Amino acid sequence: MSLFDGISCGQLALERSGIKIDTYFSSEIDKYANLVTKHNYPNTIQLGDVQKINNIDNIDLLIGGSPCQGFSSAGKGLNFNDPRSILFFEYVRLLEKTKPKYFLLENVNMKKEWQDVITSYIGVEPMFINSRLVSAQDRKRLYWTNIPNVTQPHDKDISFQDIAGDNWFCGSMRGRRINPLTNTRDDYNKDIKIKQYIECRKDNKTNCLTTVCKDNVAVRKRLPRQSVSNIEYRWLTPEEYEQLQTVPVGYTSIVSDSRRRTLLGNGWTVDVIVHIFKNIT
């Protein structure tokens, strides 16, 4: 059973791991995510809202990545006061109810005090894994699991250029106040107008995929900071998003490009989950 299933990256990972599934229960309320799942895995039993699940037993594997907005550094930092992050306790409820042989919970890298609360409920310490080991994406995540002998993945040394081509680098678009005298950020100087700049990464990876396109843009020149009017850039394509999440190209093509980016930004890096699942006997 997969809670907060999204586009069923967990089902993809099980398939890629060679683990046969008799029944796959999915709990997801986003209709576009459910469309993608049904298109690729028509036998999925979709349960809808996690808060309404009460009659499922005999689960071998419980997986999920509860909404992370309350824990993310990109959010407001409300932690368990965020109504989305409170859904973590639905995972705990069903973990206690179904008593699966194996479980996996994923979330963002967060403050140790919040991490420890989750650990106290789940009963195991998390493992930190960065998707950059199996992908061209810098994506830091925590994984709580009782699957034994999970180690760090081997570094596949995949670059953004392997996906987008040799002449593309990754950056992000940011609104900044730049002091014209020093050419440095002057964030609190309200006399300086906010302008949009491209800030490039120093390595050959991308930033963490999110639901916001401007967090990842492809550029022709790798410069520390450049006005958007002075540099050639483009949005990443949905197919590049899929490759960065190690999802098959075209997997999300049943919905619009903007929906594809959002769903993939909310998803898992499949090959990280494959690496964890390989220890299931």
Residue ranges of domains in the chain, CATH in brackets: 2-156+256-277 (3.40.50.150), 160-240 (no CATH)
Confidence of residue 69 (pLDDT cuts 50, 70, 90): low
Q: What CA dihedral angle connects 178, 184, 185 and 191, to 10 degrees?
A: -40
Provide the terminal-to-terminal Cα distance of the chain, rounded to the nearest Å. 17
pLDDT at 86: 79
Confidence of residue 79 (pLDDT cuts 50, 70, 90): low
**Does the pLDDT of residue 204 top 60, yes or no?**
yes
**Does the pLDDT of residue 65 top 70, yes or no?**
yes
- pLDDT, tens only, 116-135: 999 999 999 999 999 999 99
Average pLDDT over residues 103-111: 94
Q: Distance between CA 42 and CA 64 in Å, rounded?
A: 20
Beta strands 217-219; 233-235: pairing state: antiparallel
**Does the pLDDT of residue 8 top 60, yes or no?**
yes
Confidence of residue 78 (pLDDT cuts 50, 70, 90): very low
Higher pLDDT, 71 or 89: 89
Report residue 98: phi and psi, to 5°. Answer: -85, -20
- pLDDT, tens only, 208-263: 999 999 999 999 999 989 999 999 999 999 999 999 999 999 999 999 999 999 99
Could you tell me the two tokens for 33?
A: 């995510």
pLDDT at 85: 67
- pLDDT, tens only, 129-179: 999 999 999 999 999 999 999 999 999 999 999 999 999 999 999 999 999
**Does the pLDDT of residue 61 top 50, yes or no?**
yes
Beta strands 102-108; 61-64: pairing state: parallel
Our answer to whether residue 170 is catalytic in this structure is no
Residue 12 identity: L
- pLDDT, tens only, 16-37: 999 999 999 999 999 999 999 9
Which listed residue (9, 68, 200, 213) is catalytic?
A: 68
